[in-house]
Amino acid sequence: MLREIITYPNKLLRTKSVDVEKFDNELHTLLDDMYETMIANQGVGLAAIQVAIPLNILVICLPDENEMQNKEDVIEAINPKITHKDGVQVFLEGCLSVPGFNEEVKRAEHIVVEYKDRFGKEQKMETSDFLAVAWQHEMEHLDGHLFIEKLSLNKRKKFEKEYKRQQKTKKL
Ligand code: CO
């Protein structure tokens, strides 16, 4: 089932999510819904708080070499924690909760993350490049933050201007 994605400046996006304790059918339905909602909106990652559920859950599904996002490639992470990060990379990011805006963000190049899968089994992943960007972006949502908060003052002003312009456009 598709869920509604909440967008900036909805205050719910500032909620710090809490850990999942039950790895039950309700969780599995939420994960399936999050995947469906992410794909339907042309996203590559989605955190539960973006569908107004304040739980430490995220899904990531990067396109393969044929630009296909296969369900079997989806990463489902429950209660994730970054246990190591190093290096620096800059990537042009967007966010389903900040539609119509892209900006370069500086993040760690390489990370190690520990999390649980949908059955509560411990998982560990070491990754870099775009997948590391996606992890860091989604985990920021779980902390109640958006990528636009990381921008320099000038870029932030550019965002505010663009946001106001979009708001005006909607009123026509
Ligand atoms: Co986002």
pLDDT in tens, 115-142: 999 999 999 999 999 999 999 999 999 9
- The alpha carbon dihedral of 135, 137, 141, 143 has a sign of positive
Q: How far is the CA of 169 from the centre of ligand 1 (A)?
A: 23
Distance (Å, whole) CA 111 – CA 82: 7
Ligand 1: centre distance to CA 22 (Å): 25
Secondary structure in 3-state letters for the chain: CCCCCCCCCCHHHHCCCECCCCCCHHHHHHHHHHHHHHHHCCCCEEEHHHHCCCECEEEECCCCCCCCCCHHHCEEEEEEEEEEEECCEEEEECCCCCCCCCEEEEECCEEEEEEECCCCCEEEEEEEHHHHHHHHHHHHHHCCCCHHHHCCHHHHHHHHHHHHHHHHHHHC
Distance 141 CA to ligand 1 centre (A): 7
Confirm whether 138 is a catalytic residue. Answer: yes
Q: What is the mean pLDDT of the chain?
A: 95
Query: What is the model's pTM?
Result: 0.94
Q: Which of 138, 140, 149, 160 is catalytic?
A: 138
Query: Could you read off the pLDDT tens digit of each residue along the chain, which spans 172 residues?
Result: 999 999 999 999 999 999 999 999 999 999 999 999 999 999 999 999 999 999 999 999 999 999 999 999 999 999 999 999 999 999 999 999 999 999 999 999 999 999 999 999 999 999 999 999 999 999 999 999 999 998 899 999 999 999 998 888 766 6
Q: How many whole angstroms from 13 Cα to the centroid of ligand 1?
A: 10
Q: Which domains does the chain have, with CATH numbers?
A: 11-171 (3.90.45.10)
Strand 103-107 versus strand 89-93 pairing type? antiparallel
What is the model's pLDDT at position 171? 63
